[in-house]
Amino acid sequence: MPFSRPDLDSIVERIKSELAARLPSEMLRYGPTQELGKTIGGEVNELYGHLEWGFRQLFTHLSEAAELDRQADEYGLVRVAATTADGSAQFTGQPGSLIAAGTALRGPNGLEYFVVTDSALGSGVDGNGATSITVQALEAGSTGNLAEGSSLNLISPVAGVATRAVVLAPGLAGGTEAESDDSLRQRVLDRKRLPPHGGNENDYVAWVKAALPGVSHVWVAEGAMGLGSITIRFAMHSVRENGIPTEDDVAVVEAYIKARDRKPLGATVYVVAPIPVALDFSIAISPNTAAVRAAVQASLADLILREAAPGDANGSGTLLISRLREAVSTAAGESDNAVSLPSADAVPGPGEIFVMGAITWTGTL
Q: What's the confidence (pLDDT) of residue 94? A: 93
83 forms beta bridges with 176
Q: Is residue 1 in a domain?
A: no
Helix/strand/coil percentages in the chain, nearest 5: 35, 25, 40
Roughly how many angstroms between the first and final C-alpha of the chain, as a whole number?
64
Q: Is residue 215 in a domain?
A: yes
Q: Is residue 185 in a domain?
A: no
Q: What's the confidence (pLDDT) of residue 29? A: 65
Q: What's the confidence (pLDDT) of residue 30? A: 63
Last residue of a domain, one of 238, 271, 304: 271
308 and 266 share one domain: no
Tell me how far the alpha carbon of residue 90 is from its chain's centroid: 29
Q: Is residue 331 in a domain?
A: yes
Q: Which among 155, 175, 151, 178 is positioned nearest to 165, based on CA atoms?
A: 151
Last residue of a domain, one of 271, 287, 307: 271
Last residue of a domain, one of 271, 303, 335: 271
Q: Is residue 348 in a domain?
A: yes
134 and 118 share one domain: yes
Range of the domain at 315: 275-363
355 and 288 share one domain: yes
252 and 324 share one domain: no
Domain of 262, CATH number, reads 3.30.300
202 and 253 share one domain: yes
25 and 48 share one domain: yes
Question: Which residues are CB-contacts of 351 (< 8 A; sequence separation ≥ 6)?
Answer: 233, 272, 274, 275, 310, 311, 312
Q: Which among 301, 347, 300 is positioned nearest to 327, based on CA atoms?
A: 300
Q: What's the confidence (pLDDT) of residue 37? A: 82
Question: Which residues are CB-contacts of 34 (< 8 A; sequence separation ≥ 6)?
Answer: 16
Residues in the chain: 365
Q: What's the confidence (pLDDT) of residue 204? A: 94
Q: What's the confidence (pLDDT) of residue 334? A: 95
Q: What's the confidence (pLDDT) of residue 261? A: 81
Q: What's the confidence (pLDDT) of residue 313? A: 84
Q: What's the confidence (pLDDT) of residue 318? A: 97
Going residue by residue through the chain (365 aa), what tens digit of pLDDT does each one get? Answer: 577 888 999 888 888 888 878 877 766 666 677 788 888 889 999 999 999 999 999 999 999 999 999 999 999 899 999 999 999 999 999 999 999 999 999 999 999 999 999 999 998 877 888 999 999 999 999 999 999 999 999 999 999 999 999 999 989 988 989 999 999 999 999 899 988 888 889 999 999 999 988 899 999 999 888 888 999 999 999 888 899 999 999 999 999 999 888 888 888 999 999 999 999 999 999 999 999 999 999 999 999 999 999 999 888 999 999 999 999 999 999 999 999 999 999 999 999 999 999 999 998 88
Measured from the Cβ of residue 260, the count of other Cβ atoms closer than 10 Å reads 6
Q: How far apart are CA 338 and CA 298, in angstroms?
A: 17
281 and 355 share one domain: yes
Q: How far apart are CA 312 and CA 348, in angstroms?
A: 8
Q: Is residue 186 in a domain?
A: no
Domain tally, the chain: 4
291 and 348 share one domain: yes
Question: Which residues are CB-contacts of 285 (< 8 A; sequence separation ≥ 6)?
Answer: 292, 293, 296, 328, 334, 336, 337, 361, 364, 365
Q: Is residue 303 in a domain?
A: yes
357 and 283 share one domain: yes
355 forms beta bridges with 278
Q: What's the confidence (pLDDT) of residue 358? A: 97
Q: Is residue 70 in a domain?
A: no
Measured from the Cβ of residue 13, the count of other Cβ atoms closer than 10 Å reads 13
Q: What's the confidence (pLDDT) of residue 186? A: 92
Q: How many CA atoms lie within 13 A of 95 on its CB side?
A: 8
Q: Which among 192, 246, 190 is positioned nearest to 214, based on CA atoms?
A: 246
Let me know: does 281 contact 359? Beta carbons within 8 Å.
Answer: yes
262 and 291 share one domain: no
Q: What's the confidence (pLDDT) of residue 116? A: 97
| The 268-271 sheet, strands edge to edge | 217-222, 229-235, 268-271
